[in-house]
Structure 1
Amino acid sequence: VPYPVRRILPPADLCELRSARWGVCWVNFEALIIAMSVVGGMILIMLGVCCCCCCKKKSKKQVSEGEAAEVRAEMKSRHDEIRRKYGLFKEENPYAKFDN
């Protein structure tokens, strides 16, 4: 029987879904629908996982940037203390030009 080209799924009175074929005789329409659903579901799951991973990395990077600034400030203060202790701290020039 020729495939009804105006409809995607063949009507039930023509044949059952499990006996319908698509394009060629060896492609079962029911198996094709199930396979495409599984592949589509896997693609959606992979996209969701990728989005979650990207968001997690982005938020982790923002947190680590804030922590890095704190660590830098702490290290600078520690280095300034050591410079003062050994007289290596550059103090402001007492003869600097005034800004008026």
Structure 2
Amino acid sequence: MDNLRLLGRAMNPRISVAALLLGFGLATVLAQTPAPGVACEAKNGTSCEECLGNVSCLWCIPTKSCVTYPVKTILPPHSLCPLNDARWGKCWINFQILIITFAVIGGILIIAFLICLFCCCKCENFGGQRFEAKMQKQADKTRTRQQDRKAAMKVKHEEIRKKFGLTGPNPYSKFS
């Protein structure tokens, strides 16, 4: 969980920059409003480039017509212009392929995010349990070695006391 918090803190500047760029992009698009009195329909019979000079216009290839983009329906209806023949933004961008590409890229990003989220959570739980078990095993080994050393030192001290005849009461015990 701590790793996810750290990841969230590290990504905050990235998210802020992305939101800022998105805001500037939207402001740019919204700032490109048509000149007063010049509607997209007035550019019928002109070229695709001239029509798409205004972001609110949609060019239909078979009818060579420039129409105002129907923002309320999100996608232009087939009666207005078939998606395969609709151009918006740039004349070389096929609207149908653009939608399919964005859908595929969005799907891949969502799947990648879910896989990363799943792997991070699973690895964190699995690695954490394994790490805790390893640390516990190491602590047990250390405790066992320490007890063995203590017992060996006690035996050694007893042997030294016997050797020098100090098996009686310890004269320094009253200081302890």
TM-score when normalising by structure 2: 0.45
Are the counterparts in 1 of residues 88 and 95 from structure 2 also a CA contact under 8 Å? yes
What count of residue pairs does the alignment treat as equivalent?
93
Shift of 1:58: 1.6
- Indicate yes or no: 2:77 matched with 1:25: no
Higher helix proportion: 2
- Indicate yes or no: 2:148 matched with 1:81: yes
- Indicate yes or no: 2:122 matched with 1:56: yes
Moved over 4 A (4+): 94-97
Shift of 1:11: 2.1
Change (3 A) 1:78 1:22: same
Shift of 1:5: 2.3
Change (3 A) 1:25 1:75: same
Change (3 A) 1:85 1:26: same
Extract unaligned runs of 5+ from structure 1: 89-93
Among all aligned residue pairs of Structure 1 and Structure 2, give the percentage whose two residues are the same amino acid: 30
Which protein has greater RCO, CA pairs closer than 8 Å, 6+ apart?
Answer: 2
Shift of 1:14: 2.2
SS in 2 for 1:2: strand
Larger deviation, residues 50-59 vs 30-39: 50-59
Larger radius of gyration: 2
In the other structure, the counterpart of 1:6 is 70
Higher strand proportion: 2
Larger deviation, residues 75-84 vs 48-57: 75-84
Q: Measure, in 2, the Cα distance between the counterparts of 1:3 and 1:48.
A: 40
| Cα deviation code 1:4-52 (max 9, x no counterpart) | 3233322212221111112121111000001001100110111011101
Q: Over the residues paired in the alignment, what is the CA RMSD in angstroms?
A: 2.5
Extract unaligned runs of 5+ from structure 2: 1-64, 156-172
